[in-house]
Structure 1
Amino acid sequence: MMHDSDALLDALRQAGDPEAVQALEQLIQHGADEELVRINALSFAGEHGLSQDAVISTLLHGARLGLFEMSWNILCSSCGGVLGANASLKSVRQDAYRCAFCALDTEPILDDAVEVSFAISPRIRRVAAHDPGSLAFWDYHRQIFFGTGVVFPEPPAFEDLARLATLEAVELQAGERMILALQIPAGSLILFDPVTHTAQVLDVAGEPAQQRQELSLVFDDIRPAVGHVDLKPGQLRLTLENRSEERVLPGIFIAGEALNTLIGGRRPFLTAKRLLSNQAFRDIYRTDALDVDQRLKILSLTFVFTDLTGSTDLYERVGDLVAYDLVRSHFQILTAVVASHGGAVVKTIGDAVMATFPMPSQAVAAALEMREAMRRLNTGRETDELILKIGLHEGPCLAVLLNDRQDYFGQTVNIAARVQELATSGAIFVSEPVVRHAEAARLLTEKGLQAQRHLCSLRGIGSRMPVFELT
């Protein structure tokens, strides 16, 4: 470790969750090299019995301090391979990313196609993955190519499956050329290099070839390249040439049960959608998430809008100074409630709050706690001056940069704001997608709440839609 690591860890102790800091410090000092590459925040939290949000927040503070490096990885929707690793979400610019291994295109949707991982900084501790060219064939695949959502079997099952799933695996340095003599079986084979993302699909079928077959493949820096060839079972003379500027690791994989079992395990991972709705992230990276011309798609996000009722009368009754202190206290309370339920405050507008949550159930739980928190505040002040009206809606949207702030755009945002406008003093109004969400419905049942249906016209929206009051 570098000499300044102790000072950085001291700073992290001041900013992060104490238990999460202790677990990460142990990882930095004693973890194996492969454990310090592409850290899965959710899995790390589960393995150490820690709060996911506490681990995420602590890793974010660690990245800000320079202990860790954060990566926004575009994932193949099929194999979970990393199609592009970016130091910032600002670098996610393509409409689609090609997986040569699966021959599929993936749109960088923030819900599940963009993961956020963390790796130890080489300033703090150098690990093998800081020099990818030194990694062995499967170490490269596990630490560099595949994302944190892929779970590999434990030894010795891994070695057994890798042997069954791989016909051949080689290493070619820059400028090197190699000729292989192979006996290829009937079936589907994938010749793939994880470094240049070059692939050749070999469909092997029919009667065995009477003569030796020939195939050549060139690896260069134009990626990804995918080809397709029909062959017969039998002898194959395979010529591989590396014209790229780095070492390549071509392997011939047998598409089948062994390969599916080898790379088919999955676990949850930290998505870009969740991180953008994390309060610690918004506090640390206020204006550094997106560029002004980016429009990144989210398929499902839950919006909560709140507003204080009678705030104009409040200012007239108690005066600007007292009213300002009251409103500021209410903002602090709501921000804490939002963060405690895994959401983030996007902005405040006058006396109103706009917040986002990855899941409708989180938003419902937060809305209920917001209402109770205001009741407690009023009881403590022996008044009823701070009464909220709250509206919730879930749906697709775009993550954008507006007024130098990471924000959201789309009809879902508009509807959420209009649902809040319908709410009466002290009420929580929600849209149909929220009450129909299984976990949100279960939460309402546990709380003994009913969803009273109204058919309403929302200003500027058009046709009437069902809106539900939680009673």
Structure 2
Amino acid sequence: MSEAQSLFAVLRQSADTDCVAALERLVRDAPDRRLARINVLEFAGREGLKEERTIATFLQAAQIGLLDMSWNVLCPSCSGVLDANTSLKSVRSQEYYCAFCNLNNEPTLDDMVEVSFTVNPRVRRIAVHDPDQLPLWEYYRQVFWGRGVDLPEEGLEAAMQQVTLDAVELPAGEKAFLSLQLPAGFVIVLEPVSHAAQFINVTGEPTQDRQNVTLVYNNLRAPTGEITLRPGTIRLSLENRTATRALPTVWVVDDKFAALVGKRRPFLTAKRLLSNQTFRDIYRTDTLDVDQRLKITSLTFLFTDLKGSTELYERVGDLVAFDLVREHFRTLNEIVAAEGGAVVKTIGDAVMATFLTPDHALSAALRMREAMRRLNSTHGREDLLLKIGIHEGPCLAVNLNERQDYFGQTVNIASRVQGLAQTRSILATAPVIDNPKSAEVLSSNGQKPMAQSHPLRGVAAEVAVYEIP
């Protein structure tokens, strides 16, 4: 039995059967380019699979060594990969510079860090395992751009040639000279390996004189320069002083170019993965460094607590109460996972969970309340009285007490909103209720939130809070 067959046999023991079968077909039959930085969401859609099950399968495949996981920092403008990391721990919180767009951006986990998967070379060796050997346009597809860029599956080279004046592969230490006719407009000379760019603003009257430009590639990432030239002939002198090949490409940036490289599709973000229960179960403490602080611009927090749990232990005894509380935790965990969220931690009888969007948190809260009602009906007593608070906003992903956690005022408000809740109450703030998809959830359940206003400790202004009856 080959190593790949052995690893798939292991994967089948824990992962979704259909997802494993689809992944095995991909590894066995797909062309190399489709096994490099796999976009899990695109793969799930193409195969007709549930996204959450597919993500879980890929995570389990990475855990056993079938796939290698990569955390890619993207430029939010062009979706170029500015940095590729084998761990989130390597993603720095300082700004990343994109030469292509001439922009500095502070990374956020919402849409600037994508998570992709590449087949491990022990399972199948593919071209991207030796990126210096990739053809020019496949280098752009497989290495330079992120998985959210929707490039043509077939005929990429022909499509790129339509917007390219010239391109050359320049070995380490070599020089090259290109003679080109510059059209009026905007031209970029981009070198994707070193992420160096030169902007050329081509304007004015055409000239018969030859214009000369020299570009030297080294290991320094200098700011993008801009020069102004006139339409006409240019002699472009290129020198590669790096230890690897360079791939300078001369592009005409126009509507045709934007149409080719501007299409986007969904991809798996770091934010989504951190709120994935399978990821948290597998990686637990090995996610962030102690001193690392990474921003998330929007995350929804749900806090729960059991009302009167102390009295419950006194009333029914430790053993019965323990079984009831454990059943309550198991039920809440199942609901959180089913709504695409993750349990961050439990504190006594309380739960802190995260969701990508407010509507999923609200749907989970309604399901939790109904589930507690059913449990109480089954046991014939009103023992499990759940209080729930929900809030959405920005936060920091951090490492606290040897676990991946969250920090910030959004977390504080969510916790304190839960503290206002009475027996069986669901309280949510305005950002949750005002979300358009939340309105759909409430409408489908026949719920009409009732506005309240409460002072919260540590919050200067009163916070609009809504009770879901």
Give me the whole-angstrom Cα distance separating, in 1, the residues matched to 2:457 and 2:373: 29
Give the corresponding residue for 1:359.
Answer: 357
Aligned AA (1:53): E
Structure 1 alignment gaps of length 5 or more = none
Give me the whole-angstrom Cα distance separating, in 2, the residues matched to 1:144 and 1:269: 16
Aligned AA (2:221): R
Q: Give how far 1:463 is off.
A: 2.1
Give me the whole-angstrom Cα distance separating, in 2, the residues matched to 1:224 and 1:443: 50
Deviations 1:32-54 (A, max 9, x none): 11110111111111111111100
Deviations 1:343-375 (A, max 9, x none): 000000000000000000110111111111111
Quick check: 6-15 or 272-281, which moved more?
6-15
Q: Answer whether contact 1:161 1:259 (CA < 8 A) is retained.
A: no
Give the corresponding residue for 1:44.
Answer: 43
Q: Give how far 1:123 is off.
A: 1.0
Give me the whole-angstrom Cα distance separating, in 1, the residues matched to 2:223 and 2:180: 23
Give me the whole-angstrom Cα distance separating, in 1, the residues matched to 2:233 and 2:254: 21
SS of corresponding position for 2:224: strand
Deviations 1:157-216 (A, max 9, x none): x45542221000100111111111222111110000110101100111112234211111
Give the corresponding residue for 2:323.
Answer: 325
Quick check: 319-328 or 398-407, which moved more?
319-328
SS of corresponding position for 2:13: helix
Give the corresponding residue for 2:449.
Answer: 451
Give the corresponding residue for 1:414.
Answer: 412
Q: Give how far 1:3 is off.
A: 2.6
Give me the whole-angstrom Cα distance separating, in 1, the residues matched to 2:195 and 2:351: 45
Give the corresponding residue for 1:469.
Answer: 467
Q: Give how far 1:154 is off.
A: 5.0
Give the corresponding residue for 1:392.
Answer: 390
Give the corresponding residue for 1:35.
Answer: 34
Q: Answer whether contact 2:93 2:293 (CA < 8 A) is retained.
A: no
Give me the whole-angstrom Cα distance separating, in 1, the residues matched to 2:32 and 2:128: 8
User: Is 1:11 the equivalent of 2:21?
Assistant: no
Give me the whole-angstrom Cα distance separating, in 2, the residues matched to 1:98 and 1:15: 41
Give the corresponding residue for 1:61.
Answer: 60
Q: Answer whether contact 2:427 2:465 (CA < 8 A) is retained.
A: yes
Aligned AA (1:252): V
Give the corresponding residue for 1:308.
Answer: 306
User: Is 1:107 the equivalent of 2:124?
Assistant: no
Deviations 1:389-416 (A, max 9, x none): 1000000000000000100000000000
Give the corresponding residue for 1:242.
Answer: 240
Give me the whole-angstrom Cα distance separating, in 1, the residues matched to 2:247 and 2:208: 30
Q: Answer whether contact 2:198 2:226 (CA < 8 A) is retained.
A: yes
Give me the whole-angstrom Cα distance separating, in 2, the residues matched to 1:13 and 1:302: 33
Give the corresponding residue for 2:337.
Answer: 339
Give the corresponding residue for 1:293.
Answer: 291
* Partner of residue 190 from structure 1, selected from 178, 188, 191: 188
Q: Give how far 1:94 is off.
A: 4.4
SS of corresponding position for 1:20: helix
Give the corresponding residue for 1:204.
Answer: 202
Give me the whole-angstrom Cα distance separating, in 2, the residues matched to 1:37 and 1:310: 53
Aligned AA (2:419): E
Q: Give how far 1:460 is off.
A: 2.8
SS of corresponding position for 1:415: helix
User: Is 1:140 the equivalent of 2:139?
Assistant: yes
Aligned AA (1:59): F
Quick check: 321-330 or 411-420, which moved more?
321-330
Give me the whole-angstrom Cα distance separating, in 2, the residues matched to 1:105 and 1:161: 29
Q: Answer whether contact 2:137 2:157 (CA < 8 A) is retained.
A: no
Deviations 1:216-245 (A, max 9, x none): 111112236422111111111111111111
Distance 1:54 1:347, change over 3 A: same
Give the corresponding residue for 1:150.
Answer: 149
Structure 1 runs (4+) deviating above 6 angstroms are none
Give the corresponding residue for 1:129.
Answer: 128
Q: Give how far 1:96 is off.
A: 1.2
Q: Answer whether contact 2:217 2:242 (CA < 8 A) is retained.
A: yes
Deviations 1:310-329 (A, max 9, x none): 10001111222221222112
Q: Answer whether contact 1:16 1:57 (CA < 8 A) is retained.
A: yes
Give me the whole-angstrom Cα distance separating, in 1, the residues matched to 2:93 and 2:297: 17
Q: Answer whether contact 2:395 2:411 (CA < 8 A) is retained.
A: yes
Aligned AA (1:402): L
Quick check: 201-210 or 51-60, which moved more?
201-210
Give me the whole-angstrom Cα distance separating, in 1, the residues matched to 2:61 and 2:115: 14
Aligned AA (1:331): F
Give me the whole-angstrom Cα distance separating, in 2, the residues matched to 1:330 and 1:395: 27
Quick check: 95-104 or 186-195, which moved more?
95-104
Aligned AA (1:46): G
Give me the whole-angstrom Cα distance separating, in 2, the residues matched to 1:418 and 1:377: 26
SS of corresponding position for 1:15: coil
Q: Answer whether contact 1:161 1:258 (CA < 8 A) is retained.
A: no
SS of corresponding position for 1:463: coil
Q: Give how far 1:461 is off.
A: 2.0
Give me the whole-angstrom Cα distance separating, in 2, the residues matched to 1:302 and 1:44: 27
Give the corresponding residue for 2:403.
Answer: 405
Quick check: 202-211 or 103-112, which moved more?
202-211
Q: Give how far 1:383 is off.
A: 1.8
SS of corresponding position for 2:20: helix
User: Is 1:166 the equivalent of 2:161?
Assistant: no
SS of corresponding position for 2:100: coil
Aligned AA (1:277): S
Q: Answer whether contact 1:304 1:393 (CA < 8 A) is retained.
A: yes
